């Protein structure tokens, strides 16, 4: 295609050179400028420093970091307000519900006091009980029909019991020595 036109001057496709000392009649577009007029909402023309509809001066646009920070702060404020409102609704709902008196024995601190373990050791103990329940649950949910399945189920039981053992050992290590 370039060979089809003969005797083309190389300077034809270049931007016209200005004489030294003469300012360009076109001002370069400033990327920090806003894209639309805040007064009438019209999009600014390329390189314009004012709105061609209402004549309002073109303001500087916010940087990307400022935009993200604004969205972030508005999002956090919304989450905070919705969490507070949700907390108030849940609190008022729970106050309306009357539980039987024996339900207080299922409270975390009541069980912890009854068992006599500090919080970290009690949590490890509860995780260990959950792992033992998982080992029993494997037996209830999966039935082996051949040797390969039986071995897989046994491996799952071993893994659950190993996790329970590790949790119980962690509970023993986290238990504070008694002074009695």
Residue with tokens 């972030």: 72
- What is the model's pLDDT at position 45? 78
pLDDT tens digit sequence for 155-164: 999 999 999 9
pLDDT tens digit sequence for 23-37: 555 544 444 555 777
Both tokens assigned to 28 = 């370069």
The H or E element spanning position 127 is helix 119-141
Between 119 and 56, the higher pLDDT residue: 119
Alpha-carbon Rg for the chain in angstroms: 37
Both tokens assigned to 9 = 């001057």
Q: Around 69, how many Cα atoms within 13 Å sit in the side-chain half-sphere?
A: 5
Q: 42 and 54 in contact (C-beta within 8 Å)? A: yes
Angle at alpha carbon of residue 43, lines to 42 and 47, rounded to 5°:
130
The pLDDT > 70 percentage for the chain reads 77
- What is the model's pLDDT at position 30? 45
The H or E element spanning position 72 is helix 64-96
pLDDT tens digit sequence for 60-119: 666 666 777 788 888 999 999 999 999 888 888 878 888 788 888 888 888 888 888 888
Taking the C-alpha atoms of residue 125 and residue 22, their distance in angstroms, rounded to an integer, is 84
Report the interhelical angle of 108-115 vs 119-141 (nearest 10°): 100
* pLDDT band, very low/low/confident/very high, at 53 (cuts 50, 70, 90): confident
Between 12 and 81, the higher pLDDT residue: 81
Q: Mean of the per-residue pLDDT values for the chain?
A: 79
Taking the C-alpha atoms of residue 131 and residue 122, their distance in angstroms, rounded to an integer, is 14
Domain ranges of the chain: 64-98, 102-174
């Amino acid at each position: 295609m370039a060979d089809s036109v003969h005797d083309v001057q190389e300077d034809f496709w270049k931007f016209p050179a200005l004489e030294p000392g003469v300012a360009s009649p076109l001002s370069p577009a400033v990327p920090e400028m806003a894209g639309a007029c805040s007064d009438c909402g019209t999009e600014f023309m390329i390189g314009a420093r004012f709105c061609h509809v209402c004549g309002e001066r073109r303001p500087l646009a916010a940087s990307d970091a400022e935009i993200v920070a604004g969205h972030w702060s508005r999002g956090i404020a919304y989450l905070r307000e919705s969490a507070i409102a949700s907390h108030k609704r849940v609190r008022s709902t729970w106050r309306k519900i009357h539980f039987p008196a024996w339900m207080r024995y299922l409270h975390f601190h009541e069980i912890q006091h009854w068992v006599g373990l500090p919080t970290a050791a009690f949590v490890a103990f509860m995780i260990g009980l959950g792992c033992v329940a998982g080992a029993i649950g494997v037996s209830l949910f999966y039935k082996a029909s051949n040797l390969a399945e039986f071995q897989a189920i046994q491996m799952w039981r071993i893994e659950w019991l190993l996790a329970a053992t590790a949790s119980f050992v962690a509970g023993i290590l986290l238990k504070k020595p008694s002074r009695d």
